[in-house]
Chain A
Amino acid sequence: MTSTRRQNADTKGRIAARTQPMFNRVLPAHPAAVRDTLGDIRRRFAAEVGEDTLARLELVLAEVMNNVTEHGAGISVEDDPRRAPSIHISIVRHVSGLCCAITDDGASLPDDCLQPRCLPSLTQPELPEGGWGWYLIQDLTQALCYFREDQRNYLAFSVPFSEEARPL
């Protein structure tokens, strides 16, 4: 990506060290668009962020955007792709991690999503096939916050860098 190259082009390293890589995108809440976006985010930060952090970031963002895709429209998006909510995602690198803000114009988030989660009991016949997404989001993020304003959901959180793999 040319903008990345431009940001990192400073040979003395002074500007490059201060420039925080960012990612911004608006996408429809659709599984294929989510998949493409996750790939682009990975490529955007691959040079500056360790693999472990990138992997946690990818998982969290997948879970958040999947939720919008699955529940945001209030109907199955496959019935009418035009009714898919629009997602706006921003990621900025900070000192201690990657700060993410995700907004969408889909249905309001149910209150219990942000309540602290316990894992369900692990007895096999009753194992739930869903409901793991919010558990993973809560486990892998810091400073998770949510608010609804007008017709949009606002979700923000940080994905901390792993201790063994400090950013460059």
Chain B
Amino acid sequence: MRLSSAATTEELVIVVDEARIDAAVATRFKDSMRRLIGGHRKPVIIDMQAVDFLDSSGLGAMIAVRKAMGEDRPLILRGLTPNVERVFRLTRMDSVFDIRPTDPPEEQTS
């Protein structure tokens, strides 16, 4: 599972470097994510730009990660590709997750 994480003073940014979060890897993805996120208490940004495909197993893994963090800790999903965005939209999970536009320019980050 190729995940890289970098913590700044304000947040933990995790970049998912996998093309597919599907049934073949969903459990590993969930476990790796929980390990990365569990070591911090900061808000988390997950960069999904590299993910071309996510199925309901992958969505389930994202939901498990969201639940493991607790409601008070912010989780932002960034850089959703169209196919990944579709799964969040069709399941109305776009109203549960904080989804930000793809690749926001640096100067707009505040």
Contact = CB atoms under 8 A, between A and B. Distances in A.
A59 B66 CA distance: 22
B64 A129 contact: yes
Contact of B23 (A62, A128, A129): A62
A140 B90 CA distance: 9
A127 B67 contact: yes
A117 to B, nearest CB: 11
A136 B67 contact: no
Given A35-B24, A70-B23, A125-B71, A55 B86 contact: yes
A127 to B, nearest CB: 5
A21 to B, nearest CB: 21
A8 interface: no
A130 B67 CA distance: 13
A59 B23 contact: no
Interface residues of A, number: 27
A119 B82 contact: no
Given A34-B23, A66-B57, A135 B67 contact: no
B102 interface: no
A130 B60 contact: yes
Contacts of B55: 59, 62-63, 66, 133
Contacts of A59: 53, 55, 83, 86-87
B2 interface: no
- The secondary structure that dominates the A interface is helix
A122 interface: yes
Given A125-B67, A127-B66, A55 B83 contact: yes
Contact of B56 (A31, A58, A63): A63
A132 interface: yes
A35 B59 contact: no
Given A59-B86, A122-B92, 14 more contacts: A31-B23, A56-B86, A59-B55, A59-B83, A66-B57, A119-B91, A124-B96, A125-B67, A129-B61, A129-B63, A129-B64, A130-B56, A133-B55, A136-B87
21 contacts: A31-B22, A34-B24, A35-B22, A35-B24, A56-B86, A58-B53, A59-B83, A59-B87, A63-B56, A122-B95, A122-B96, A124-B67, A127-B67, A128-B60, A129-B67, A130-B60, A132-B91, A136-B90, A136-B91, A139-B90, A140-B90
